[in-house]
Amino acid sequence: MTELLSIILAAGEGTRMRSSTPKVLHPVGGLPIIGHVTRAARDAGSSRIALVTGPRHAAIRQAVTAMQPDVVHFEQAEAKGTGHAAAMARELFTDAEGYIAVVYGDHPRLRGENFRVVLDRLDAGLDVAILGFEPKDPTGYGRFITDGETLLAIREHKDASEEERRIRLCNACILAFRAEVFRDLIDRIENDNVQSEYYITDLVGLANKAGKKVGFGIAPEDDVMGVNDRSQLARAEGLFQDVRREDFMKAGVTLKDPKSVWFSYDTEIAQDVTIEPNVVFGPGVKIESGAVIHAFSHIEGAHVGSNASVGPFARLRPGANLGADVKVGNFVEIKQAEIGAGAKISHLSYIGDASIGAEVNIGAGVITVNYDGYNKQRTIVGDNAFIGSNSALVAPVTVGEGALVGSGSVITEDVEADALALGRGRQINKPGRAKAIFAEAQAKKLSKKGL
């Protein structure tokens, strides 16, 4: 494959988002917009990626480095347009071979195959190939000025004549060049336009003047939609979710009410899983075959084993690892815990920082007391143990295999295998005392009212 350098432009301020968070860090499907773009560039075969950001965009650089450590960062200190921004990556394109793609960083629906549309045109002999699309409303987009298969120029909307604004074919978000052509033309861009900016799209006209072969490819509108405000962000999220839902159903996953289930970019679900309405999957979830996720459950950073049952109204937080045939019932929260095969945590419990063995029964209202105000401690429960309802296991503590913890116990010491543990006060009954207490309370209430 021909070497590909992708230069991603993300120096804009995104003021229309009305947010202290940079535009390209807003998530779609649990992944920042810029993460979708870098993944698409990588999927297209980019051996090197340059990211151009503004001087106040340290958060973007940090986020991208966490996702793609080998991305090289450049700063556009002054906002002088897209052509000026692309030139900031000179350190990389000076010795680049093969192809260079310049990509706008605010397109969360972008995929590697969208790159291939224009890269294939370069493979076929073009010197420059620009990705275009035909939007329902072309307002605001640069228009393609064409002569048959040749792209003569891209006219920005603000600079276009009324006749040119009637053109339906518009600039999308990827401009691809042979490396030597890009290198030769990038410094020839001028700023004689309404905005007094250096437009990267002016390279099309410059390439034509230099006698280069310039063409274009077409992408579906939904693939190349940009995000500039919250409304577009919501639309991008909706499109993302629709595609994920269809993909999972085609792969053998049952969605009882597809529109009410929300996935992340990295959700993994095996065939024959059933998902009931109003379930949300955060990042980092894997569900094995045969599992059932009941309604109104929220799962993030968790693994659910085969034939397990989760919910309704369950919450699995990062680090929850459920084995095969586990049952997690309503209003149960689990985090940083290993739950062994066949274990049951049926209702109203919190299990955190724990290892729960196979076939363990956790009664209603059981909690692991894992935090002392400064540090987290771990609870270990052996195979086949039974923890009675409304018990508190105060970590660090171990309950051995086959042990029984009586209901209402507070367990602060280890319990040996097969032992019965009781950690509660002895019950005392006082005949008639309840009646006297109620009478005293009623008299006190009446005296306050002056009766």
Among all residues, which ones are annotated catalytic?
Answer: 347
Give the 3-state DSSP-derived string for the chain, with helices as H, strands as E and coil as C: CCCEEEEEEECCCCHHHCCCCCHHHCEECCEEHHHHHHHHHHHCCCCEEEEEECCCCHHHHHHHHHHCCCCEEEECCCCCCHHHHHHCCHHHHCCCCCEEEEEECCCCCCCHHHHHHHHHHHHCCCCEEEEEECCCCCCCCCEEEEECCEEEEEECHHHCCHHHHCCCCEEEEEEEEEHHHHHHHHHHCCCCCCCCCCCCCHHHHHHHHCCCCEEEEECCHHHHCCCCCHHHHHHHHHHHHHHHHHHHHHCCCEECCHHHCECCCCCEECCCCEECCCCEECCCCEECCCCEECCCCEECCCEECCCCEECCCCEECCCEEECCCCEEEECCEEEEEEECCCCEEEECCEEEEEEECCCCEECCCCEEECECCCCECCEEECCCCEECCCCEEECCEEECCCCEECCCCEECCCECCCCEECCCCCCCCCCCHHHHHHHHHHHHHHHHCCC
CB of 16 within 8 A of CB of 57? no
Which of 276, 273, 331 minimizes the C-alpha distance to 303?
A: 273
